Amino acid sequence: MNAPLALLAELTHRCPLRCPYCSNPVELTRASEELATGEWARVFREAAEIGCLQVHLSGGEPTARRDIVEITAAARAAGLYTNLITAGVLLDAALVARLQAAGLDHVQLSVQDADAAGAERIGGMRGAHARKEAAARLVRDAGLPLTLNAVVHRQNLHSLPRLVEIALEWGAARLEVAHVQYYGWALANRDALLPTRAQLDEATRTVQAARDAHRGRLVIDYVVPDYHAARPKACMGGWGNRFLAVAPSGRILPCHAAESIAGMAFPNVRETSLRAAWEDSDAFNRFRGTGWMREPCRGCEHAERDWGGCRCQAFALTGDAAATDPACALSPDRALLLAAVAEAGTTEFRYREFG
């Protein structure tokens, strides 16, 4: 059993944006149910004790927490590298300075589109794009490393060349071009978000050209959608293999989307330790390794490379988390994925709503 390398700390589901591809569950945790500052401090200490090297402070919007500075300081005190995953719309110079003094190491800033109109339509918040640009400037002026995260899909892929330019103009050292993955709110909006194969191929060409043009200046990570794949990716490096997440409610998860699998019970930090959850819980051991696999995954030469693909995606498409991921061409349920691709095309969003 490997030690986890990274912890995703989902501090809150609260967020001023309403992005229709949000990876949070459709049923959001209320503020009254969120872990308190001291509980997060204990989580960070336990994470470091079992081998975690870094923590990603996420949400929702993590800066919606009034104690975000204290939470950041607790993560640093535990010896963890701290990365703030933020929409940036609540950042100001004073908060950036306090976060930096508390030990913040890195900022990942999301963008919804390359222009204000497109960003406001997707994110559902007026003025958000300008606030993000201002936030990038504050982060850069503070000397903190900046990654720009561009979630791309059917309705903004035409903006990808400009998004690369924005990453350079805003001073990012890294750009994540992340195609939407279809869980939670994104699954509810799949028909409006899923790109065509032609769009995907053009995006891939754009990314490769940008990598060649800006090598040494901008690192570009690229995450493609499984719906156009012939073989699944090793989701999160394998279930319970290198990664764990803690939800705002305290539930300990093998991946950020695991709560989308109906019928699974997950341990909670209010009742158990991270070590016990990682090593002994049914939730983490259920799909760990290869022993749980059925045909055609069982005995497949790729079994210890892709680990059977994504359990959340298998459940979303088939209703069975133990099924072969339909992203695999050998899956008996492959037709479900192909049908979803064929049916996509609406332009209407179902926006993320809190409460």
Annotated binding site: 15, 19, 22
Contact 249, 10 (CB under 8 A): no
Distance from C-alpha of 71 to C-alpha of 75, rounded to nearest angstrom: 6
3-state DSSP call for residue 11?
A: coil
153 touches 193 (CB < 8 A): yes
CA distance 338 to 19: 25
Please list the helix, strand and coil fractions of the chain in percent, rounded to the nearest 5, in that order: 40, 15, 45
Q: Angle at the Cα of 317 (from 316 to 322), degrees rounded to 5?
A: 75
Annotated binding site for [4Fe-4S] cluster: 15, 19, 22
Beta bridge partners of residue 285, listed in sequence order: none
Element (H, E) at 97: helix 93-102
Residues 6+ apart with CB under 8 A from 192: 20, 154, 155, 344, 346, 347, 348, 349
108 strand-pairing partners: 85, 147
Report the C-alpha gap between 178 and 153 in whole angstroms: 9
Is residue 118 within 8 Å of 158, Cβ to Cβ? no
CB 142 within 8 A of CB 96: yes
